[in-house]
Amino acid sequence: MLSVQRAATGTSTRQLGVRTFFGTSSRAKQRLVILGSGWGGYEILRAIDKKRWSEECSLDVIMVSPTNYFNFTPLLASCSVGTLEFRAAVEPVRRYTPDVIAYTAWCDSIDFKHKKLVCMPATSPVTFEGSQTQSNGGSDVNESASLVTGNTEKFQLTYDKLVIAVGAYNQTFNVPGVKEHAHFLKDIRDARRIRTRILECFEQANQPTITDADRRKLLNFCIVGGGPTGVEFAAELHDFLHSDIARHYPALARMAKINLYDVAPHILGGFDTGLQEYATAKFKREGIRLLTQHHVERVEEGRMFVTEEGEVNFGLLVWSTGLSPNPLIESITELKKDERTKRSLLTNGTLNVLKADTGAPDPDVFAIGDACTIETEALPATAQVANQQAKYLTKRLNRLIKSSSASASSSDAASADAAAFKFQNAGSLAYVGDWEAIFDRTKAARGPKGKETGRVAWLLWRSAYFTKTLSVRNKILVPMYWFLNWIFGRDLTRF
Amino acid sequence: MLSVQRAATGTSTRQLGVRTFFGTSSRAKQRLVILGSGWGGYEILRAIDKKRWSEECSLDVIMVSPTNYFNFTPLLASCSVGTLEFRAAVEPVRRYTPDVIAYTAWCDSIDFKHKKLVCMPATSPVTFEGSQTQSNGGSDVNESASLVTGNTEKFQLTYDKLVIAVGAYNQTFNVPGVKEHAHFLKDIRDARRIRTRILECFEQANQPTITDADRRKLLNFCIVGGGPTGVEFAAELHDFLHSDIARHYPALARMAKINLYDVAPHILGGFDTGLQEYATAKFKREGIRLLTQHHVERVEEGRMFVTEEGEVNFGLLVWSTGLSPNPLIESITELKKDERTKRSLLTNGTLNVLKADTGAPDPDVFAIGDACTIETEALPATAQVANQQAKYLTKRLNRLIKSSSASASSSDAASADAAAFKFQNAGSLAYVGDWEAIFDRTKAARGPKGKETGRVAWLLWRSAYFTKTLSVRNKILVPMYWFLNWIFGRDLTRF
């Protein structure tokens, strides 16, 4: 199973991100390609045994992701109102280069038969006059990639092992205008745009040239989707409006409203009923309007049309109604897909993808996170699941390195005879505002089953963020910002 | 001199940012309008005696500035390479509202005779369908402003005292293409754009689809202007390329070049000759190309044309060649201007502007910072001068409050009989990279005259940033980021 195709380049000079060792060309290198730097992909990048493979020269790791960072998604709602600074909620992929190779690129297509990927740069094109396309001859940069014949814009990579961790896109249910006029909350750029927009709404409303009627429209904040993301954003926004905004824009703060829409009869669908009721009661007490069983028909600039209400004007619309398929997953025809959600690849218990024709697992291709559905078990599309799957897979891949370095003719330790992945439900947490959270452990795998609300749950919610995923740097910065913003208030500069 | 025109509204309800007191309508309020939130304007906002006037109800303070923050300019070069986080180098104007009133707006024109300003909102226009312009009738928001007759987009303010602290614009010497294709470094938005662009250059150069020739063009960093801003940016960029970039993009770091252009024969024109030579030698040792006596003729996307060199390709061009007039200053015809620079108003020794017709000082209008030239003394256009002028003026304005609250028929303590402003040169500092700085105290007003170079100067350079201007919050954040980035390296995420 070991690839030998890179042995020929083993004596070349040291290149960007690819460790080659003089005199070691007789030992072939495995190449692991990870697609995506989210909860699944970044965890593998972080936890894979980089020491061993750099010493023993048995594995190249390549990350292909359109961003060069990982979003610590549960902190995005905090970032979007300034409780946290943006960079405290992201982790750089570049931290691991040149030990690993990283390309800021989209994976366009996968040739499973020849173990090849075609990728498209996710940076803006370079436009020097007289520029020529890389002939891939003399450069010592990016020797790991080659050009696609007849295409000057794409490049290709080969893999021995492939992890598909590309996640999913935002679901809009084809409501017209959502992509153009609403904000999602899945990436740090979304959080930055939302923060800038909220502050702009208040600065616009503060202008003497507009009417009170328009001020109320501008300060009408709408959220569509009553899941954890929508609820936490509503809670953070409420905190922000009732602290820093109320202090520094008192007359305008009184005009501001928060509205949370959902088509379902209750918010927080996945949570225990008691906790749903707790959150509902709390939101009502705080003046957040809950518009359940409401349907948005279309969105335009500054307004949307709701079946039950008619035209609704807003200054900001945040849209968070779940997940839709990643185009890469949609384009794959060689593998079995989850027919129910259509947004993920079907895998066996060891997370190997299943071939569409024979149904047999591909021993070298794995799918994790939102891009994967295990055929025997329906798991929620959460960070927790993706992260646990990545940890499971990393262990297997690390064993592969171990065994391949122990014997030259490695047996594939990542083969299907490994123990199946088992999800350990640690419970679900959601912030509901005003230093209170809810914590649902009714389905927890270990520890006391039950639920928590209020300050105790809030403490658990905050401490939950100190996972291994967050770097030491951010483990210092996150509480630092919490502390500074608690003392001095959130920063209100808009730039 | 006290204005009584607002007395009529003194019994209205408490409005946004305007303190009115029931039953105090017999006491009229002075209104101080500050134009600009830079080194001059923000210092007045910060230091004016807000306690006294809120207690004694003698003064309304209104800030009119196109941004709702103050840029701590000497830290912008650090921010532009990620040594510091952006928000650590800005201070919010909103910290002081509603005690003061703030409008995010441009001052369009000033009617000195009727003591009126016309302002234009600096936020994007509000576009709700059926929106009507504020009739200024029923709202309790922004009662301090009124609409301009026949114009739905502008508003007007009256003043009793006016401080013009609008600063200056970037000088381009009408070189075509500079505004479109170069980056300035005067605002935190510039710093953010530069940081994003530097990281993008490396991610673009890392794509397998481009040639080494294009990589070298992309990683050619050009700076035009050898003053302190250009020099400090070159130094910070050098540090960045030789630490974090060299560590994480080793092959690309070797292709990167820094070029510093100036038309003059030496960089750091205003500094002592010995220090100029020190900086020049240091830059040469560090591999920064110094292209003095070079002239840029025009700039296009990704390239510029230099008289002495011909076409030069670049990935990033930073332009810092001094100051040009602010359009507001240009448009003022009623006041005397500095005929030499044409970018500032002529003032007397007490910073009162001089009328164009009679040459007499206007007792109620002041100019400070880059917008002002004292007729008897040519001072450099620096933050230090602006800040000292603001401190001087704040003392006078605070005396005015004191005297106006002490006696109902206030004598104008801010009149021309006050002692003239005296600049206390504290010396000039510039960072030259690699933990070294230069400190020129040869023209210093107090303390030991002389100059420092190297680490001692670097320590002085860093400690100089702990002025009163920086808030406690940023006094904590700035060293925190210095420390974290020293330990963990600068963050390389591009978003």
**Cβ-defined contact of B155 to A207 (cutoff 8 Å):** yes
Q: Dig out the tokens for A11 from the structure.
A: 């004596």
Res B339 pLDDT > 80: yes
**Mean pLDDT computed over A359-387:** 94
B479: left (phi over 0), alpha (psi -120 to 50) or beta: alpha
Tell me the pLDDT band of B417, cut-offs 50, 70 and 90. Answer: low
Report chain A's mean pLDDT, rounded to a whole number.
87
Cβ-contact A61, B458 below 8 angstroms: no
Number of Cβ atoms within 10 Å of the Cβ of B311? 10
pLDDT at B288: 97
- As a whole number of angstroms, the distance between CA B326 and CA B108 comes to 11
Q: How far is CA B224 from CA B184, B259, B290, B313, B428, in A?
A: 10, 8, 10, 14, 21
Tell me the pLDDT band of B406, cut-offs 50, 70 and 90. Answer: low
pLDDT at A132: 60
More confident residue, B285 or B137: B285
Q: Which residues of A touch B471 (CB under 8 A)?
A: 488
Measured distance between the N- and C-terminal CA atoms of chain A, rounded to whole angstroms: 53
- What is the percent of chain B with per-residue pLDDT over 70, rounded to a whole number? 86
pLDDT at A13: 34
Question: Phi then psi for B399, rounded to 5 degrees?
Answer: -65, -35
Res A393 pLDDT > 90: yes
| Interface-testing mutation among B95, B211, B255, B311, with chain A (most A C-beta atoms within 10 A) | B211
pLDDT at A280: 97
Question: Who contacts A80 (Cβ-Cβ below 8 Å, separation ≥6)?
Answer: A185, A190, A191, A192, A194, A195, A198, A233, A236
**Mean pLDDT computed over B353-372:** 96
Tell me the pLDDT band of A320, cut-offs 50, 70 and 90. Answer: very high
Res A255 pLDDT > 70: yes
Res B6 pLDDT > 50: no
Asked, as a colleague might, if the bond just before B98 is cis with ω within 30 of 0, I would say: yes
pLDDT at A56: 58
- As a whole number of angstroms, the distance between CA B64 and CA A93 comes to 42
**Cβ-defined contact of A492 to B251 (cutoff 8 Å):** no
Contact with chain B for residue A310, Cβ under 8 A: no
Cβ-contact B354, B338 below 8 angstroms: no
Q: Which residues of B touch A136 (CB under 8 A)?
A: 208
Res A10 pLDDT > 60: no
Residue with tokens 């001692």: B456
Contact with chain A for residue B104, Cβ under 8 A: yes
Closest B-chain CA to A98 = B248
Contact map slice: A 194-253 vs B, CB within 8 A: 199-200, 203-215, 217-218, 248-252
pLDDT at B10: 34
Domain annotation for chain B: domains and CATH numbers: 7-168+325-406 (3.50.50.100), 172-321+427-464 (3.50.50.100)
Shortest alpha-carbon distance between residue A488 and chain B (Å): 7
- As a whole number of angstroms, the distance between CA A46 and CA A41 comes to 9
Tell me the pLDDT band of B131, cut-offs 50, 70 and 90. Answer: low
Report chain B's mean pLDDT, rounded to a whole number.
87
pLDDT tens digits, residue range A103-135?
Answer: 999 999 999 999 999 999 999 998 787 766 555
Tell me the pLDDT band of B468, cut-offs 50, 70 and 90. Answer: confident
Res B232 pLDDT > 70: yes
**Cβ-defined contact of A129 to B251 (cutoff 8 Å):** no
Contact with chain B for residue A126, Cβ under 8 A: yes
pLDDT tens digits, residue range B175-217?
Answer: 999 999 999 999 999 999 999 999 999 999 999 999 999 999 9
- As a whole number of angstroms, the distance between CA A42 and CA A369 comes to 11
Total beta-carbon pairs less than 8 A apart between chain A and chain B: 264
Question: Phi then psi for B254, rounded to 5 degrees?
Answer: -70, -20
- As a whole number of angstroms, the distance between CA A111 and CA B457 comes to 59
- What is the percent of chain A with per-residue pLDDT over 70, rounded to a whole number? 86
| Interface-testing mutation among B120, B128, B181, with chain A (most A C-beta atoms within 10 A) | B128
pLDDT tens digits, residue range B383-392?
Answer: 999 999 999 9
Tell the burial category of B216 from Cβ atoms under 10 Å away from its Cβ (0-12, 13-18, 19+).
Answer: middle
Res A138 pLDDT > 60: no
Contact with chain B for residue A15, Cβ under 8 A: yes
**Cβ-defined contact of B211 to A133 (cutoff 8 Å):** yes
Measured distance between the N- and C-terminal CA atoms of chain B, rounded to whole angstroms: 53
Contact with chain A for residue B494, Cβ under 8 A: yes
Question: Who contacts B33 (Cβ-Cβ below 8 Å, separation ≥6)?
Answer: B62, B64, B117, B157, B159, B161, B162, B163
**Cβ-defined contact of B252 to A210 (cutoff 8 Å):** no
pLDDT at B399: 85
pLDDT at B135: 53
pLDDT at B402: 67
Residue with tokens 């990545």: A390
Res B290 pLDDT > 90: yes
Question: Who contacts A477 (Cβ-Cβ below 8 Å, separation ≥6)?
Answer: A85, A87, A88, B484
pLDDT at B3: 36
pLDDT at A302: 96
ipTM of the predicted structure? 0.90
**Mean pLDDT computed over A155-160:** 95
Question: Phi then psi for A283, rounded to 5 degrees?
Answer: -60, -40
pLDDT at A363: 94
**Cβ-defined contact of B214 to A131 (cutoff 8 Å):** yes
More confident residue, A241 or B131: A241
Contact with chain A for residue B92, Cβ under 8 A: yes
pLDDT at B7: 35
Question: Strand B345-347's sheet: what is its strand order?
Answer: B146-147, B155-158, B116-121, B101-111, B59-65, B30-35, B161-164, B361-367, B352-354, B345-347, B372-374
Tell me the pLDDT band of B1, cut-offs 50, 70 and 90. Answer: very low
Q: What is the DSSP letter of B210?
A: B
Which of A400, A371, A390 lies closest to A467 in space, CA to CA? A390
**Cβ-defined contact of A493 to B90 (cutoff 8 Å):** yes
Closest B-chain CA to A214 = B131
Highest mean pLDDT among A433-442, B288-297, B421-430: B288-297
Contact with chain B for residue A99, Cβ under 8 A: no
**Mean pLDDT computed over A210-226:** 96
Q: Dig out the tokens for B98 from the structure.
A: 């509603």
Res B467 pLDDT > 80: no
**Mean pLDDT computed over A279-307:** 97
Res B25 pLDDT > 50: no
pLDDT at B127: 77
